[in-house]
């Protein structure tokens, strides 16, 4: 290794509930890998670095050193959450969300290309139906108790009907079953991610522009400071892969200030089946490979991660490479989505990011 400074722009997924949630996992994974390989791993940051979204580490081996700056591009605070809406909005927007995903033949066709993604899609739909049943029951109960929430008057007969339906649908055994499911599986998070994805793809209230803008500004900053880094890597996880794909494909500077893209557990196969915009961006980014400094795209995936599939780019494309993670994960972690985080502790991923060669 020569004395140099590498930059990793880290784009987490939609599941990040707060800044640095996954940045800390990434740094811990790199530290564990270096410890296992006999590489000295030293933090160059002081105690005030928390919540800055930046980490600087120094690696030392064989009397040589290398510095890596990791900069997080956090964006999931921008996504809307359906689970926090009132009963009537959950009822109306939930129906629209169900039709958007379950009613799309292209979505099902894309999911069917991976048996694991198909299993997850069916399982997610079942969880959604359980959640939506509760949303309908809550909406009917709210309408029966206060018909004015509809914005117009109901006859007494209709009001009683809503009261009876809400009471029958909301019996204790139904709520108990729903409570058990929501304890075992992150149902509310699944709903919020599905809703946030829909809003992003439809650019509802400019959401796509706001989210992509954060990464675009980070890339512009790197472009201005390009002489400060010997290499620049964009590392994207989960839905962050979609964000990175769109932004890198359309970055309007003459030269893309990125040498390498590392994608972890991306859903591009499924998402591009629902959005021609994302599909076209993936094609443009694929065509941008090997132009200027952008020469490598490594895509990590796992059969144990039911929330992702291989990125739909041929291995024959120069500079692109699929890498299958072989770390095994128990069935319950696959079903709950916990396996979606295995990349942060996988040594094959850490080896690529640390890049000691």
What are the φ and ψ backbone dihedral angles of 9, each rounded to 5 degrees?
A: -90, 115
Pair 284, 248: CB distance under 8 Å: no
How many domains are contained in the chain? Answer: 2
pLDDT in tens, the chain (357 residues): 555 689 999 999 999 989 999 999 999 999 999 999 999 999 887 655 566 799 999 998 887 888 999 999 999 999 999 999 988 899 899 999 999 999 889 889 988 888 888 888 898 888 888 888 888 888 888 777 776 666 667 777 777 777 777 777 766 566 666 666 666 678 888 999 999 999 999 999 999 999 999 999 999 999 988 888 999 999 999 999 999 999 999 998 667 889 999 999 999 999 999 999 999 999 999 999 988 789 999 999 999 998 888 999 998 999 999 999 988 888 888 878 889 999 999 999 999 999 876
Are residues 56 and 110 located together in one domain of the fold?
no
pLDDT for the residue 73: 97
Q: Are residues 43 and 88 in the same domain?
A: no
132 lies in the same domain as 69: no
At residue 133, the pLDDT reads 84
Length of the chain in residues, anyone? 357
What pLDDT, on the 0 to 100 scale, is given for residue 54? 93
Do 117 and 56 reside in the same domain of the chain?
no
Asked whether the beta carbons of 289 and 318 are under 8 A apart, the reply is: yes
CB atoms within 10 A of CB 353: 21
Please indicate, yes or no, whether residues 123 and 37 belong to a single structural domain of this protein.
Answer: no
Assess if residue 210 is contained within a domain: no
Q: Same structural domain for residues 69 and 87?
A: no
- Under 8 Å between Cβ of 161 and 143: no
All residues at 6 or more sequence positions from 23 whose CB lies less than 8 Å from its CB, including other chains? 10, 12, 53, 55, 70, 72
Does 91 lie in the same domain as 60? no
Long-range contacts at 147-152 (CB < 8 A, ≥ 24 apart): 149/88, 150/88
pLDDT of residue 130: 84
Token readout for 344 is 């942060």
Same domain, 353 and 302: yes
What is d(CA 246, CA 282) in angstroms, rounded to the nearest whole number? 7
CA distance 132 to 92: 10
Is 327 within 8 Å of 300 (Cβ atoms)?
no
47 and 147 fall within a common domain: no
**286 in any annotated domain:** no
pLDDT at 180: 67
| Residue 280 and residue 248 in contact, taking contact as beta carbons nearer than 8 Å | no
Is residue 44, in this structure, part of any structural domain at all? yes
Q: Is residue 16 part of a domain?
A: yes
Distance CA 119, CA 141 (A): 34
Angstrom distance (rounded) from CA 351 to CA 100: 39
Q: Which domain holds residue 7?
A: 1-75+232-239+252-278+294-326+345-357
Q: Residues 53, 129: one domain?
A: no
Contact call for residues 306 and 283 (beta carbons, < 8 A):
no
Give pLDDT, residue 329: 87
Q: Residues 65, 59: contact at Cβ < 8 Å?
A: yes
Give yes or no: residues 18 and 1 share one domain: yes
- In this structure, are 86 and 198 located in the same domain? yes
Nearest Cα neighbor of 227 from 205, 196, 257 is 257
Residue 215 counted as domain residue? no
**What would the DSSP string read from start to end of 151-182?**
TS---HHHHHHHHHHHHHHT-HHHHHHHHHHH
Calpha distance 273→50 (Å, rounded)? 39
């Amino acid at each position: 290794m020569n004395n140099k400074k590498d930059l990793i722009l880290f784009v987490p997924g939609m599941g990040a509930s707060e800044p640095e949630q996954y940045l800390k996992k990434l740094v811990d994974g790199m530290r564990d890998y270096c410890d296992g390989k006999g590489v000295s791993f030293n933090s160059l940051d002081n105690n005030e670095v928390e919540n800055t979204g930046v980490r600087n580490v120094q690696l030392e081996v064989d009397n040589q050193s290398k510095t890596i700056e990791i900069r997080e591009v956090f964006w999931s605070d921008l996504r809307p959450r359906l689970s926090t809406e009132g009963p009537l909005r959950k009822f109306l927007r939930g129906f629209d969300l169900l039709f958007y995903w379950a009613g799309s033949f292209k979505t099902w066709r894309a999911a069917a290309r991976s048996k694991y993604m198909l299993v997850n899609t069916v399982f997610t739909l079942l969880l959604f139906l359980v959640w939506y049943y509760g949303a309908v029951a809550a909406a009917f109960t709210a309408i029966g108790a206060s018909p004015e929430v509809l914005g117009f008057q109901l006859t007494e007969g209709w009001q009683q009907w809503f009261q009876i339906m809400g009471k029958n649908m909301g019996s204790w055994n139904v709520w108990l079953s729903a409570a058990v499911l929501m304890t075992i599986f992150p149902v509310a998070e699944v709903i919020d991610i599905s809703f946030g994805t829909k809003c992003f793809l439809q650019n509802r209230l400019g959401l796509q522009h706001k989210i992509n803008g954060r990464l675009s500004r980070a890339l512009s900053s790197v472009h201005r400071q390009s002489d400060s880094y010997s290499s620049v890597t964009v590392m994207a996880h989960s839905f962050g892969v979609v964000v990175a794909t769109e932004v890198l494909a359309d970055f309007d500077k003459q030269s893309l200030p990125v040498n390498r893209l590392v994608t972890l557990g991306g859903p591009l196969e499924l998402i591009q089946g629902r959005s021609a915009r994302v599909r076209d961006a993936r094609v443009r980014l694929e065509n941008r490979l090997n132009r200027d400094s952008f020469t490598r795209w490594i895509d990590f995936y796992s059969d144990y991660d039911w929330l992702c599939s291989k990125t739909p780019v041929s291995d024959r494309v120069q500079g692109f490479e699929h890498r299958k993670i072989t770390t095994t994960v128990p069935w319950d972690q696959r079903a709950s989505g916990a396996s979606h985080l295995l990349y942060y502790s996988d040594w094959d991923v850490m080896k690529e990011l640390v890049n000691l060669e």
